[in-house]
Structure 1
Amino acid sequence: MRRLALILAMISCIPLIVTYAFADDYTLGIFGNADMDGKIDERDIECVRDIIKGSNDETELADANRDGKIDESDIVQIEKIIGSEQEVLHILDGNGNPVAVKTPVQRIIVLYKDSPEVLRALDAADRIVGVSDYIKQWDAVLFPEISKLPSVGHFINPDYEKILSLNADVLLVFGSTRVDEMQKQLPGVTVLFLGLYNPDLIGAEQSRYKDGVKKLGYILSKREEAEEFINWRDYWLNTIKSRTDELSEDEKPLVMNIHYRPGKELQISCTGYKTYQMTSIAGGRDIAESAYNCDTYTNVNLEWLLTQNPEIILAQLYYEYTKHGFNTDDPSETAAGRDDIMNISVLTNCSAVKDGHIFMMADNFRNGGDGCLIGTAYLAKWFHPDLFDDLDPKAIHQEYLTRFQHLNYDLDEQGVFVYPPVKS
């Protein structure tokens, strides 16, 4: 019934609450999207005309200029949006709150690696004028030019004076909780949370990530680039899902996702964390589902763990503890970490250790613009090598770096992103 109602809304402009979706019922969260579909076009103009005439009810996004009424001025605004000529674009941010973005946007500050990756995929990285300390410290190889830009401090607690000194138009923030506070401290700068850190692989119909990419396409007049990137992402995600969706529960290996921090207490990823989504899409059963239904990750109960028997252990690496990813071409530290995990006493008798099914995964694959998709491809190959005998995760990874990140980077010669290496 919900799908039917949403389809009818696209046709007849029935008023609806905005949702984030990318199936037939996807609603692009930009004011001016009067017919509540996935784009702004001539149909929205016709929808507004029908609302003005009284032949259709008002919709949530029909007030394109947000002046409190729906009239001819909204048609003018929609025409400007279609032609990328609007002076202000009114959108719903990643929290579902209305935000007015003055355009054109030429000067952007980014606080976490997800934002510059997406901007580079949209050919808009030249608009970045400032970055956080985190990007400068850990992502100099991934962002050879961007990382040289002025720093605005910590990615969660940035320096407001430095941000203001850079005359930024937009600040793309990492988290969703301090947007109002930052906006008060940054007059003249649009503080924008788009949810680019969240992959939303399972609930694609609730994907803030993809919605955020599309909104940036409109904000930056990069709609074609945004569509190209999203279509590429969807192709590989759907390719993997179409195969793993056919697996029975017995055919899915039991997987334990841990956060590898040498010398520290063992931590497990919870069901609310990205690695749970990646594991599920790749055709695995996450061990956390039976006991760890929280948002991120937590210390593991060792007595509980002794009663479990994971068939695969995935270890997420941290730049702070292990040299890997873009920051080294030498796998020795990652290999040593794998050996360390195999000698953890509570794990020595589990199937994963006995069978050598312990896989190390780079920090990049739970962070960044589209790391989770690429990480999922590697996981699918590990979990089901026969089912994905024709899938080459490294080729997907290489295409992303070359085509969308415009990097001269050869994965055959550079970097340590997974260990042991995945066979093509």
Structure 2
Amino acid sequence: MLHLNRVATAATISLALFSGIAEAGETIRIKDITGREVEVNVPVERVILGEGRQIYFTGALDTDAPFKRVVGWRDDFQKADLDGYNIYLQKFPEMAKIPTFGGMKDGTFDIEQAVALKPDVIIMNTEAKSATEESGYIEKLAKVGIPLVYIDFREKPMQNTDESMRIIGKLFGKEARAEEFVKFHDDQLARVTDTLAKAGDIKKPVVFMERAGGYSDDCCMSFGDENFGKMVELAGGINLAKDIIPGTFGTVNPEQIIASNPDQVIVTGANWELYVPGGAWVGVGPGADKAKAEEKLAALMKRPAFTGIEAVSEGNIHAIWHQFYNSPYQFVAVQQIAKWLHPDLFADLDPEATFKELHERFLPVAYHTGYFASLKAGL
């Protein structure tokens, strides 16, 4: 358990545990997504985000002022989602002044800078856990009264998204708002899973999910039985790499793809101009140029791993926004994948409308199309 230099009475902690709802200024004991029990004074007013893309959930809870608690964040938002970053920057120019950090995993996190910002909590993704523990950051932060809380939208997002949103809701004093989001998330996911359950025994196409296709010359990164791999299964498909990749992320060699002859190929992409200028990646995302995305997607299908496979000859080639893999919006991706895999069964389902409703109800910026692209047969 992580102890702070703040004092909380046993009665206060017990009340928080039984009620699950924090009153202003009380210290509660929160169990983070890894099972650690952490004492935090809530609602938090000063937050360091261990990843810039955590603004995806901050914006869903602090919709009117998504940066009001953020006193520092990792420097990945602009690099990993340039189009999304620019949309937020246009509406919230003050975000450019927020101090940025390197990552825990790559050893560039500046703990002295973090302490100087006097955060009430640091929110980290679970993938940083090993590096955080090895460096002794948790103990160092505890000595100056700064708690660290883990959440997860990436390693096991379909399992941990709802609970992660509830944890953040407690930290922010936005429990009701978090529950509203969770209900919307679950209801929209059920539109796919309930329909598939009622359909009974249907043919499930084999799907190859390529992670960040064209980001590098390597072929081909993919997903095991989690993240986009799990989304494929929920959408009524068979994830080609499920039994090849033992963890969440890994690689499938070209020969395995050709031998498996997938029915559908889905490539994740985003605007990675700051990471790989002029790269072969497919720039889908908010406001993306659809024609350019389709052109780059077609070029990727000329690589040896995809020559002669069923998906290419039938034109079942798609691109999807990479950041669904690391945000609480992944139910939109499940809807879109389901529509690609079973167009007749999901003829009335409109993932674009779902994502637009999510923006209108929960997010501080307007919806922009461009998150998906597909090729037609023969291209």
Cα RMSD (Å):
2.7
Comparing both structures, which one devotes a greater share of its residues to strand?
2
Asked whether 1:118 is paired with 2:66, we answer no
Following superposition, the deviation at residue 333 of structure 1 comes to 3.8
Residue of 362, 367, 378 corresponding to 2:336 = 378
Whole-Å separation in 2 of the counterparts to 1:358 and 1:304: 18
Kept in 2, the 8 Å contact 1:123–1:225? The answer is no
After superposition, the Cα gap between the structure-2 partners of 1:311 and 1:147, relative to the gap in structure 1 and judged at 3 Å, is farther
Whole-Å separation in 2 of the counterparts to 1:302 and 1:354: 17
Correspondence list, 1:335-350, <5 A: 335-350=294-309
Partner amino acid, structure 1, of 2:298: D
2:353 aligns to what SS in structure 1?
helix
Tell which has more relative contact order, 1 or 2 (C-alpha 8 A, sep 6+). 2
Could you tell me which residue of structure 1 aligns to residue 219 of structure 2? Answer: 266
Following superposition, the deviation at residue 227 of structure 1 comes to 0.9
Whole-Å separation in 1 of the counterparts to 2:155 and 2:44: 23
Whole-Å separation in 2 of the counterparts to 1:241 and 1:283: 8
Following superposition, the deviation at residue 326 of structure 1 comes to 4.5
Following superposition, the deviation at residue 179 of structure 1 comes to 4.1
Asked whether 1:317 is paired with 2:276, we answer no
Q: Deviations 1:191-220 (Å, cap 9, x if unpaired)? A: 11122434542xxxxx33211211222222
Kept in 2, the 8 Å contact 1:347–1:353? The answer is yes
Partner amino acid, structure 2, of 1:384: H
Q: Deviations 1:44-79 (Å, cap 9, x if unpaired)? A: xxxxxxxxxxxxxxxxxxxxx796xxxx67665568
Asked whether 1:285 is paired with 2:238, we answer yes
Could you tell me which residue of structure 2 aligns to residue 143 of structure 1? Answer: 88
Partner amino acid, structure 1, of 2:367: Y
Whole-Å separation in 2 of the counterparts to 1:346 and 1:133: 34
Q: What TM-score do the two structures reach when normalised by structure 1?
A: 0.73
Partner amino acid, structure 2, of 1:289: K
Following superposition, the deviation at residue 164 of structure 1 comes to 2.0
Whole-Å separation in 2 of the counterparts to 1:78 and 1:353: 54
1:251 aligns to what SS in structure 2?
coil
Following superposition, the deviation at residue 162 of structure 1 comes to 2.2
Asked whether 1:128 is paired with 2:65, we answer no
Could you tell me which residue of structure 2 aligns to residue 351 of structure 1? Answer: 310
Partner amino acid, structure 1, of 2:118: N
Asked whether 1:91 is paired with 2:30, we answer yes
Whole-Å separation in 2 of the counterparts to 1:82 and 1:273: 31
After superposition, the Cα gap between the structure-2 partners of 1:375 and 1:66, relative to the gap in structure 1 and judged at 3 Å, is farther
Gap runs ≥5 in structure 1: 1-64, 202-206
Q: How many residues align?
A: 343
Gap runs ≥5 in structure 2: 1-7
Whole-Å separation in 2 of the counterparts to 1:262 and 1:108: 32
1:264 aligns to what SS in structure 2?
coil
Kept in 2, the 8 Å contact 1:115–1:196? The answer is no
Q: What TM-score do the two structures reach when normalised by structure 2?
A: 0.81
After superposition, the Cα gap between the structure-2 partners of 1:279 and 1:78, relative to the gap in structure 1 and judged at 3 Å, is closer
Q: Deviations 1:250-272 (Å, cap 9, x if unpaired)? A: 51111111120256121142324
2:86 aligns to what SS in structure 1?
coil
Whole-Å separation in 1 of the counterparts to 2:240 and 2:130: 30
Q: Deviations 1:82-125 (Å, cap 9, x if unpaired)? A: 46146211011111111111223101111224522212211262
Partner amino acid, structure 2, of 1:159: D
Following superposition, the deviation at residue 228 of structure 1 comes to 0.6
After superposition, the Cα gap between the structure-2 partners of 1:214 and 1:405, relative to the gap in structure 1 and judged at 3 Å, is same
Whole-Å separation in 2 of the counterparts to 1:77 and 1:228: 21
Kept in 2, the 8 Å contact 1:66–1:90? The answer is no
